[in-house]
Amino acid sequence: MFWISIKSEVSEKLKNQIVWDEFRKGSKIALETIYEDNYASLYHYGQKFTQDNDLIKDLIHELFIELIDSGSRLSRTDNIRYYLLKSLRNKLLRQLSEKLKFTNKLTGSADFNLVDSIESQLIKNEVEEQLRNQVTTAIKKLSVKQQEIIYLRFYSDISYQEIATLFDVNIQTVRNLMSRAINSLKEDLQNNNLSKHLILFVLNCSI
């Protein structure tokens, strides 16, 4: 009836718009599609802020309950994953701020941890321990803000403009942070005689 029959050439944004609009109208199939397509990404993203897995699951559940209750009152979107990540991020920060008293403008980045995910992928791909240590050391040199930006851009396919909106900063600030992060990684990894292949792996591995 709707997205199931959409041809492959139709843009991803249009597909997102159609699925989201059907969900806003109360479609259970659209809800199932959104949930199944995004739950894993939401869960992995939440783990970058906290290792309290029960909290992450509870907040994702709470998020979807609120979305269902809001229905047609929800704003339209052409990027469902961004919409959900932003909503979950806000929920996580409200919970964590009570404990950690975040104060900086890019609040969510204050406790963002990319290292564990990268290390697990290196182990999964059987990268030897010495190289793993060099990679994780390079990542730890990045600010937590840079780590979150890398995750959102490379692993969640969120645009620079959307990241800027998420952080409430201008797009050039995001681009500058990303540029410095990539240059830092390249410098550290190349200095350790690591291959270009491994550098690309760090920036593009699927988490």
Q: What is the pLDDT of residues 135-190, one digit of tens each?
A: 888 888 899 899 999 989 988 889 999 999 999 999 999 999 999 998 888 887 77
Instruction: Give the angle 189-159-144 at the CA atoms, nearest 5°.
Output: 45
Question: Is the dihedral angle over the CA atoms 101, 102, 108, 110 positive or is it negative?
Answer: negative
pLDDT in tens, 24-48: 999 999 999 999 999 999 999 999 9
Q: Residues 67, 107: contact at Cβ < 8 Å?
A: no
Task: Say if domain 107-204 classifies as CATH 3.30.70.1230.
Answer: no
Burial of residue 152 (CB within 10 Å: 0-12, 13-18, 19+) is buried
First-to-last alpha carbon distance for the chain, in angstroms, is 33
Q: What are the structural domain ranges in the chain? A: 10-100, 107-204
- For 54, the token pair is 């029960």
CATH class of 10-100: mainly alpha
67: confidence class by pLDDT, cuts 50, 70, 90: very high
